[in-house]
């Protein structure tokens, strides 16, 4: 009887040890596969670097087509780091953080980089997205657009037509009369009150 009890305990212990190992093995496999997913082959890394540099070159040539064409050093000198990030690096300010999101005084919103007039307060509306939104620019000639493929879904990027600075994006879910929503970063704008 004593021998049988010892054998039973040994069997239970063995089962416990092996079943307890299983999750550890699974974790280890998962870590392995995660590691595999995060590790790029040298060829893939080179392809990615080439993609990035060709995108950068395309951006630079796109920007060179605008009337006001300053060097990168000049832009860095002229803009605050936050303005530079949005206007020259196509960054996006945090939603609900910009000074013009809830701003409703009458006037004109100019480009923060070059003072080019972009939007009128008369076409501003509350989109509840956390970014200043307009249903049309002050004039179609004052802005420029380009295709933005940075996200999985293609978006239309909006630029200042004078300096090429990135302002935001335009979407087709705006109010009447245009049905458009120009979603713009506050930091890319400089407000000029009416009559000033």
Nearer to Fe ion, 160 or 189 (CB): 160
Tokens of 38: 């995060």
Query: Has 160 been annotated as catalytic?
Result: no
Nearer to Fe ion, 75 or 171 (CB): 75
Looking from the CA of 98 toward its CB, the CA atoms found within 13 Å total: 28
CB of 138 to Fe ion, least distance (A): 13
Tell me which of 111, 114, 160, 183 is the catalytic residue: 183
* Interface residues toward Fe ion, by CB under 5 A: 111, 113-114, 116, 160, 162-163, 165
Spatial contact of 154 and 124, defined as CB atoms under 8 Å apart: no
CB of 87 to Fe ion, least distance (A): 8
Nearer to Fe ion, 98 or 165 (CB): 165
How far is it, in rounded angstroms, from Cα 99 to Cα 191?
A: 10
CB of 160 to Fe ion, least distance (A): 3
How far is it, in rounded angstroms, from Cα 73 to Cα 191?
A: 25
């Amino acid at each position: 009887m004593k021998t049988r009890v010892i054998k039973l305990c040994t069997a239970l212990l063995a089962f416990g040890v092996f079943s307890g190992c299983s999750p550890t093995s699974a974790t280890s496999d998962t870590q392995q596969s995660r590691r595999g997913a995060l590790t790029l082959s040298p060829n893939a890394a080179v392809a990615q670097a080439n993609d990035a540099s060709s995108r950068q070159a395309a951006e630079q040539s796109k920007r060179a087509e605008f009337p006001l064409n300053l060097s990168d050093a000049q832009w860095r000198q002229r803009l605050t780091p936050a303005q530079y990030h949005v206007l020259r690096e196509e960054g996006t300010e945090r939603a609900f953080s910009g000074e013009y999101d809830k701003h409703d005084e009458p006037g004109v919103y100019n480009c923060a980089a070059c003072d080019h007039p972009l939007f009128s307060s008369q076409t501003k509306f509350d989109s509840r997205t956390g970014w200043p939104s307009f249903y049309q620019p002050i004039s179609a000639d004052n802005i420029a657009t380009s295709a933005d493929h940075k996200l999985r879904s293609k978006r239309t990027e909006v630029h200042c037509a004078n300096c090429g600075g990135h302002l935001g994006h335009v979407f087709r879910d705006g109010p009447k009369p245009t049905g458009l929503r120009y979603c713009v970063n506050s930091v890319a704008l400089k407000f000029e009150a009416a009559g000033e």
